Amino acid sequence: MPEAHASSFKAPKGLLFVVSAPSGAGKTSLVAELLKRDSALTLSVSYTTRPRRSGEVDGKHYHFVDHQRFETMVAEGAFIEYARVFDNAYGTAESSLRETLDGGEDLLLEIDWQGARQVRERFTDAVSIFIVPPSLSALEERLRGRGQDSDAVISERMAKARDELSHWDEYGYLVVNDQFERALADLGTILRAERLRTARQAAREQHRLSAMLGD
Based on the shown chain and the rule CB under 6 A, indicate whether residue 34 belongs to the binding site for ligand 5GP.
no
Based on the shown chain and the rule CB under 6 A, indicate whether residue 92 belongs to the binding site for ligand 5GP.
yes
CB 26 within 8 A of CB 177: yes
Based on the shown chain and the rule CB under 6 A, indicate whether residue 100 belongs to the binding site for ligand 5GP.
no
Which residue among 14, 26, 43, 81 contacts ligand 5GP (CB under 6 A)? 81
Residue sitting closest to ligand 5GP (CB):
115
Min. distance of Cβ 39 from ligand 5GP in angstroms? Answer: 23
Which residue among 73, 83, 97, 161 contacts ligand 5GP (CB under 6 A)? 83
Min. distance of Cβ 17 from ligand 5GP in angstroms? Answer: 13
Based on the shown chain and the rule CB under 6 A, indicate whether residue 106 belongs to the binding site for ligand 5GP.
no
Closest CA to 101 of 14, 8, 188: 14
Which residue among 16, 31, 41, 46 contacts ligand 5GP (CB under 6 A)? 46
Based on the shown chain and the rule CB under 6 A, indicate whether residue 91 belongs to the binding site for ligand 5GP.
yes
Which window, 80-88, 124-132, 136-144, 171-179, contacts ligand 5GP (CB under 6 A)? 80-88
Contacts to ligand 5GP from residues 114-153, by CB under 6 A: 114-115
Identity (one letter) of the amino acid at 148? Q
Q: How far apart are the first and last CA of the chain?
A: 7
Closest CA to 130 of 120, 143, 116: 116
* b/e burial code for range 50-86 (CB count within 10 A of at least 16 → b): beeeeeeeeeebbbbbeeeebeebeeeebbbbbbebe
Min. distance of Cβ 212 from ligand 5GP in angstroms? Answer: 43
Distances, alpha carbon 51 to alpha carbons 54, 55, 63, 96, in Å: 10, 12, 11, 22
Min. distance of Cβ 102 from ligand 5GP in angstroms? Answer: 20
Length reported for the chain = 215
What counts of helices (H) and strands (E) characterise the chain?
Answer: 9, 9
Paired residues of 26 in beta bridges: none
Identity (one letter) of the amino acid at 178? D
Q: Which positions touch ligand 5GP (CB under 6 A)?
A: 23, 46, 50, 81, 83, 85, 90-92, 110-112, 114-115
